[in-house]
């Protein structure tokens, strides 16, 4: 990757030149950092790099061991049971141009390619996906812990909610505790294979602690916020429950 020469497809066309330069410079630094930091020691590098006041609450959540939900053995996977459930079909996403943006209440906004995501520590889990429409499936998901991404983005002391925006227009909001749970993944694999487009490629949420409608597919932007907005989620705004814990 050569971040200096890579155009950012997510650059806001409204940005003026004074905004553009620092942003480009940031991308260069972020790209270089992502390629050179040994991510086996992500926690240490994040702790070592805390030069700015970090949200104590978020920091303690990130480094506090939280109770994991028991996982299933690989043999329990039900490969045919995960029903594609998309309110508006599958959006077309150019995997090469794709970037995940992380912004809002963070000290270090990020713009990550699929390769950047794959360079981060990989985690997988076999859990049950539960849809309120009355079906469930045991699935193996693989990807990056959301808490690792949030740690790199250095949340500000106001971050309490996390919004997820998807390429099909879907949107969701989560409480930060659930978002930083160790089994909340930004997944790019399902049952050991790269995600296919209908299941949310290149990146989707996966978690054993939230109902299916909280698990956004095709996530392009993660925004940390201090408050919930009037809009809370595609289904929530049509009267579904917001917390939606399992
Ligand atoms: N972007 C987006 N994410 C979404 C949806 C959607 O329509 N759009 N549907 C949700 C619902 S209701 C469920 S049950 C799961 C289904 O995931 P699957 O299609 O991979 O089985 O995706 C969730 N995430
Ligand atoms: Mo669902």
Which residue has its alpha carbon closest to ligand 1 atom 8?
A: 86
Q: Token pair 């506090």 is at which residue? A: 64
Q: How confident is the model at residue 60 (pLDDT cuts 50, 70, 90)?
A: confident
Pick from 90, 128, 215 the residue to mutate for probing ligand 1's pocket: most ligand atoms within 8 Å of its CB.
Answer: 215
Is residue 48 pLDDT above 90, yes or no? no
Q: How far is the CA of 159 from the centre of ligand 2 (A)?
A: 27
Long-range contacts, stretch 138-141, CB < 8 angstroms, 24+ apart: 138/72, 138/76, 138/77, 138/78, 138/81, 139/77, 139/78, 139/82, 139/190, 139/191, 139/206, 140/74, 140/77, 140/189, 140/190, 140/191, 140/192, 141/185, 141/187, 141/189, 141/190, 141/206
> pLDDT averaged over the chain?
83
Instruction: Find the mean pLDDT for residues 43-60.
Output: 52
pLDDT of res. 164? 98
Q: What is the pLDDT of residues 129-152, one digit of tens each?
A: 999 999 999 999 999 999 999 999
Class of residue 25 by CB neighbours under 10 A (exposed 0-12, middle 13-18, buried 19+) = exposed
pLDDT of res. 15? 35
pLDDT of res. 55? 66
Pick from 217, 236, 238 the residue to mutate for probing ligand 1's pocket: most ligand atoms within 8 Å of its CB.
Answer: 217
Instruction: Find the mean pLDDT for residues 226-240.
Output: 97
Q: How far is the CA of 133 from the centre of ligand 1 (A)?
A: 11
Strands 100-104 and 193-194: unpaired
The full length of the chain comes to 246
Q: What is the 3-state secondary structure (H, E, C) of the chain?
A: CCHHHCCCCCCCCCCCHHHHHHHHHHHHHHHHHHHHCCHHHHHHHHHHCCCCCCCHHHHHHHHCCCCCCCCCCHHHCCCCCCCCCCCCCCCCCCCCCCCEEEEECECCCEEECHHHHHCCCCEEEEEEEEECCCEEEEEEEEEEEHHHHHHHHCECCCCCEEEEEECCCCEEEEEHHHHCCCCCEEEEEECCEECCHHHCCCCEEECCCECHHHCCCCEEEEEEECCCCCCCECCHHHCCCCCCEC
Instruction: Find the mean pLDDT for residues 78-103.
Output: 97
Q: What is the CATH number of domain 69-238?
A: 3.90.420.10
Pick from 131, 212, 234, 246 the residue to mutate for probing ligand 1's pocket: most ligand atoms within 8 Å of its CB.
Answer: 212
Instruction: Find the mean pLDDT for residues 236-241.
Output: 96
pLDDT of res. 67? 81
Residue 188 near residue 225, CB atoms below 8 Å: no
Q: What is the pLDDT of residues 116-125, one digit of tens each?
A: 999 999 999 9
| 244 or 56: which leads in pLDDT | 244
Q: How far is the CA of 234 from the centre of ligand 1 (A)?
A: 11
pLDDT of res. 21? 35
Q: What is the pLDDT of residues 161-176, one digit of tens each?
A: 999 999 999 999 999 9
pLDDT of res. 54? 58
Is residue 202 pLDDT above 90, yes or no? yes
pLDDT of res. 225? 98
| 93 or 3: which leads in pLDDT | 93
Which residue has its alpha carbon closest to ligand 1 atom 5?
A: 86
């Amino acid at each position: 990757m050569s971040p200096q020469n890579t155009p950012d497809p997510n650059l806001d066309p409204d940005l003026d030149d004074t905004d553009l330069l620092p942003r480009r410079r940031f991308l260069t630094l972020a790209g270089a950092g992502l390629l050179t930091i040994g991510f086996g020691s992500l926690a240490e590098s994040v702790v070592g790099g805390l030069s700015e006041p970090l949200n104590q609450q978020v920091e303690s959540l990130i480094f506090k061991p939280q109770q994991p939900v028991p996982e299933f053995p690989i043999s329990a996977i039900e490969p045919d049971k995960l029903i594609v459930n998309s309110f508006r079909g599958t959006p077309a996403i150019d995997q090469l141009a794709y970037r995940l943006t992380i912004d809002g209440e963070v000290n270090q906004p990020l713009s990550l390619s699929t390769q950047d995501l794959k360079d981060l520590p990989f985690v997988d889990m076999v859990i049950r996906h539960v849809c309120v429409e009355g079906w469930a499936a045991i699935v193996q998901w693989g990807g990056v812990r959301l808490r690792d991404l949030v740690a790199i983005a250095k949340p500000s002391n106001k971050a309490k909610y996390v919004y997820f925006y998807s390429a099909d227009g879907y949107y969701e909001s989560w409480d930060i505790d659930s978002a930083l749970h160790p089994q909340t993944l930004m997944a790019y694999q399902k049952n050991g294979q790269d995600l296919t487009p209908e299941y949310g490629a290149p990146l989707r949420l996966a978690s054993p602690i939230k109902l299916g409608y909280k698990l956004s597919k095709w996530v392009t932007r993660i925004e940390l916020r201090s408050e919930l907005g009037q809009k809370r989620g595609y289904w929530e705004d049509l009267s579904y429950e917001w917390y939606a814990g399992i």
